[in-house]
Amino acid sequence: MSTDTYICSVERSNVLATDIAADPGRYRTLTGERPTGPLHIGHLFGTIRERVRLQDLGVETMIVLADYQVITDRDAIGHVRQHVYDAALDNMAAGIDPDRSTIFTHSAVPALNQLILPFLSLVTEAELHRNPTVKAELAASGRALSGLLLTYPVHQAADILFCKANVVPVGKDQLPHIEMARVIARRFKDRYAAVFTEPQALLTSSPDVPGLDGRKMSKSFGNAITLSMTPDETARVVRRTATDSERHISYDPDTRPGVSALLTIAALCTGRSPESIAADVGSAGSGALKTLVTEAVNSFLAGHRRRRAELALDPGYVRSVVRRGNERANEIAEQTLDEVRRVMGTHY
């Protein structure tokens, strides 16, 4: 993406943010997660807090637990059902209210998935091959490109367009996805009729959360602090972090990835700067830093973990939340598919 394009996106996003605050009732947002494993603090700072904020402003909020996306870059679907319920718990513990927001699973909404067929006719193979997310996921998977991974931007567009979401909070790296959804909405209008709304990207200022090894926090890197860990488990993973032999603690992500990742995590959890935390620890060494980080994370997550544990006491409740969400998503998707059939002339 060129710098100019990025600056335009930032400007548009700022205008959008002002309008959402003034008139939240005009907006519907959709975001989601791939239920590949437990959610971690990267998810919380990255997307979950932003969607709670939008919900609380009065924006209608849809959350897709994209279970079909689990198999875009791997064969094993894993304990997907458990991961779905865990993700629902984490969203609720973070403030998502299932009476105001819809939590649903991709695979339970046939009409949403059916939109992918006409959408596929609107994009070319070359466009899909060029998509930066497809390229990045392909490289990370180290495997042959599956048809599902190649078409990832199209099914993600279907997730957004089926419910006519007009605002999608994203990090900068996901802008190409929103662009694809906009292109599909536009081409559908040119070919048939204006059924779909062009979604706008709301760029979130959320920080990149480093994992415990300094790379991006990710389940697949095994460097994550998950939201569901106990305080003791948190202490254990923090203690395992590879630091270095320099006793004086300083913030320098390039030369000291482990130490700097720990400082950044503590900074996010306390609202302070990594440098000032480094100055506090001074020459007390990485052991002292790890104790400080553990306490910062555990006290930051205490409320979340308490609410999560309370909700988890009633597994029937979380199942009913997902079931209700699926019903609502199906209603919306069927209505949209009906419109699509009508404008395509495929209603019999």
Residues of this chain that bind ligand TRP (CB under 6 A): 30-34, 64, 66, 69, 156, 159-160, 168
* ∠ CA 168-83-32, rounded to 5°: 5
Q: In the bound complex, what is the minimum distance in angstroms from residue 73's beta carbon to ligand TRP?
A: 10
Alpha helices in 28-72 (DSSP H): 41-43, 49-57
Cβ distance to ligand TRP smaller for residue 31 or 226: 31
Q: In the bound complex, what is the minimum distance in angstroms from residue 128's beta carbon to ligand TRP?
A: 15
Cβ distance to ligand TRP smaller for residue 85 or 104: 104
Q: In the bound complex, what is the minimum distance in angstroms from residue 131's beta carbon to ligand TRP?
A: 12
Cβ distance to ligand TRP smaller for residue 179 or 234: 179
Q: In the bound complex, what is the minimum distance in angstroms from residue 11's beta carbon to ligand TRP?
A: 22
Q: In the bound complex, what is the minimum distance in angstroms from residue 198's beta carbon to ligand TRP?
A: 14
Reported in sequence order, the residue ranges of the chain that DSSP labels E, i.e. its strands, are 28-33, 60-65, 101-105, 167-170, 200-203
Q: In the bound complex, what is the minimum distance in angstroms from residue 231's beta carbon to ligand TRP?
A: 27
Asked if 59 and 24 touch (Cβ cutoff 8 Å), the reply is yes
CA 124 vs. chain centroid, Å, equals 26
Cβ distance to ligand TRP smaller for residue 185 or 266: 185
Cβ distance to ligand TRP smaller for residue 32 or 37: 32
Strand order in the sheet with 60-65: 101-105, 60-65, 28-33, 167-170, 200-203
Cα–Cα distance between 203 and 11 in angstroms, integer?
A: 10
Q: In the bound complex, what is the minimum distance in angstroms from residue 33's beta carbon to ligand TRP?
A: 5
Residue 25, helix vs strand vs coil: helix
Q: In the bound complex, what is the minimum distance in angstroms from residue 68's beta carbon to ligand TRP?
A: 9
Cβ distance to ligand TRP smaller for residue 134 or 249: 134
Residue-by-residue DSSP string for 104-173:
EEGGG-HHHHHTHHHHHTTS-HHHHHH-HHHHHHHHHHTSPPPHHHHTHHHHHHHHHHTTT--EEEE-GG
Cβ-Cβ contacts under 8 Å for 251 (sequence gap 6 or more):
259, 260, 263, 274, 275, 278
Cβ distance to ligand TRP smaller for residue 274 or 325: 325
Cβ distance to ligand TRP smaller for residue 92 or 180: 180
Cα–Cα distance between 132 and 124 in angstroms, integer?
A: 15
Angle between helices 80-93 and 285-312 (to 10 degrees): 100
Cβ-Cβ contacts under 8 Å for 275 (sequence gap 6 or more):
251, 263
